[in-house]
Copies of this chain bind each other. A is one copy, B any other.
């Protein structure tokens, strides 16, 4: 379960509350691993049961207790083990490609807007990635070295390049449909 390990990853830097973790996810890995609040709290409970984290309860008269989670030694071993273990092959699910696959059922006037819209969404995503990068490129981290910062930015880079490839594909797909040029470009350079 990757959520567990992402949480352990964050806690390996510093103790955090469930609320802090939610913000950490939203500020960093949401593009490839969104996490929602209720799931984080439940997963923390599981991690505690498994002995990978310990809970420090900080009482604050009148307000809700703050619960800070610390990674345990077993948790450090576990995150290291997971990080260095190859993952089983994942299967992807892309509903948009189902629409393309069965797109023959639609006339161009219904299909082309769908493709153009997807291109638009993809281009916007590229802009978001650029903005995040611009905001982070000169970051130096208190908790991580240059190499660690580089690795975290690599995840942004791969998001950027794959979205570029998708945008390019969509542009040529639209162009081919418009000109009734039904040729496919795979393999041969």
Give residues in A with beta carbon < 8 Å to B: 2, 5-6, 9, 12, 28-34, 79-80, 82-84, 86-87, 89-106, 110-111, 114, 117-118, 121, 129-130, 133-134, 137, 144-158, 160-162, 164-166, 168-169, 173, 176-177, 180, 182-187
Q: Are B86 and A102 in contact (CB under 8 A)?
A: no
* Known contacts A28-B101, A84-B114, A105-B79, A95 near B33 by CB under 8 Å: yes
Which residues of B lie under 8 Å from residue A130 when comparing CB positions?
186-187
Residues of B within 8 A of A153 (CB): 184, 186
Question: Chain copies in the assembly?
Answer: 2
> Are the CB atoms of B93 and A33 closer together than 8 Å?
yes
- Residues of B within 8 Å of A32, CB to CB, are 92-94, 97-98, 101
Contact yes or no, A102 B182, CB < 8 A: no
**Chain A to chain B contacts (Cβ below 8 Å), 27 pairs:** A2-B98, A6-B98, A6-B102, A29-B98, A29-B101, A31-B92, A32-B98, A34-B91, A83-B99, A83-B103, A84-B111, A90-B94, A100-B151, A101-B155, A103-B151, A104-B145, A105-B148, A130-B186, A133-B184, A147-B182, A149-B182, A150-B176, A150-B182, A150-B184, A153-B186, A154-B169, A158-B169
Contacts of A180 in B (CB 8 A): 147
Is B92 a contact partner of A87 (Cβ separation < 8 A)? no
- Which of B92, B96, B104 interacts with A144 by CB under 8 Å? B104
Q: Which residues of B contact A129 (CB under 8 A)?
A: 186
Q: Find chain B residues with CB under 8 A from A183 CB.
A: 150
Which residues does chain B contribute within 8 Å of A145, judged by CB atoms? Answer: 104
At the interface, is chain A mostly helix, strand, loop or mixed?
A: helix
Q: How far apart are the CA atoms of A154 and B155 in the complex, in Å?
A: 26
Q: How far is B82's CA from A34's CA once the two chains are assembled, in angstroms?
A: 26
Q: Are B80 and A106 in contact (CB under 8 A)?
A: yes
